[in-house]
Amino acid sequence: MNHKKKIDMTGKIITALLALLGFSLAGCREEYGCPYVNFHVSGRVVDAQSNPIPGIEITADEYGSTRSDSQGYFTIEENYASLPGKICCTDRDGEENGGEFLPEEVDLNGRFVQTAKGSGWYEGAYKAELGDVTLTKAESDDSPADDKRQRKQSTHKTPSL
């Protein structure tokens, strides 16, 4: 019987400890989770003459994407575990927006300003205003340099054997 009382008492102690442990974890909401930040990146996509370029796809690392509006402006706002390191501007519609433009990457390191402090897993809010992002037009296949090269190739004769 003495052995049965020890087992019974041990069970009560373990139950009490588990109950206390469970209650203490329930009061600590930040025990589990993942750090995250809010970020806001904005700017305007323009050509070499500062004309706005609509319809350009802007991607912030793997965090999300948007397209520039009719005036070239864009905004990406997301919540993620870290701030993006770059944005990529890509012309997906070709000639529809006034020409084909080469892709452009913009480094975001050092450009973010903290706008709200965080606590616990939330590390705060950050904002990067980029201003104008200038894209370069892609050279067309019918440029004068290509015409000269094609004419030179057509006048070159291949020797016959």
Provide the phi-psi class of 120: left if phi over 0, else alpha when psi is between -120 and 50, else beta: left
Domain annotation covers residue 119: yes
Domain annotation covers residue 21: no
**In which residue are the tokens 């070499």 written?**
48
Q: Total structural domains in the chain?
A: 1
- Please give the model's pTM, rounded to 2 decimal places: 0.65
Domain annotation covers residue 11: no
Domain annotation covers residue 28: no
The residue segments making up the domain with residue 106 are: 34-139
Which residues make Cβ contacts (< 8 Å) with residue 85, sequence separation at least 6?
Answer: 61, 107, 108, 109
Dihedrals phi, psi of 143, to nearest 5 degrees: -75, 155
Q: Residue 59: which pLDDT band, with cuts at 50, 70 and 90? A: very high
Helix runs in the chain, H state only: 2-26, 144-155
SS3 content of the chain, % helix, strand, coil (to 5): 25, 35, 35
The string of pLDDT tens digits covering residues 1-58 is 565 666 667 767 776 665 656 544 444 344 467 788 899 999 999 999 999 999 999 9
The string of pLDDT tens digits covering residues 92-144 is 887 877 789 999 999 999 999 999 998 888 889 999 999 999 999 988 655 44
Provide the phi-psi class of 128: left if phi over 0, else alpha when psi is between -120 and 50, else beta: beta
Instruction: Kindly report the CATH number assigned to the domain that includes residue 122.
Output: 2.60.40.10
Domain annotation covers residue 147: no
Task: Please report the pLDDT score of residue 35 as a whole number.
Answer: 83
Domain annotation covers residue 161: no
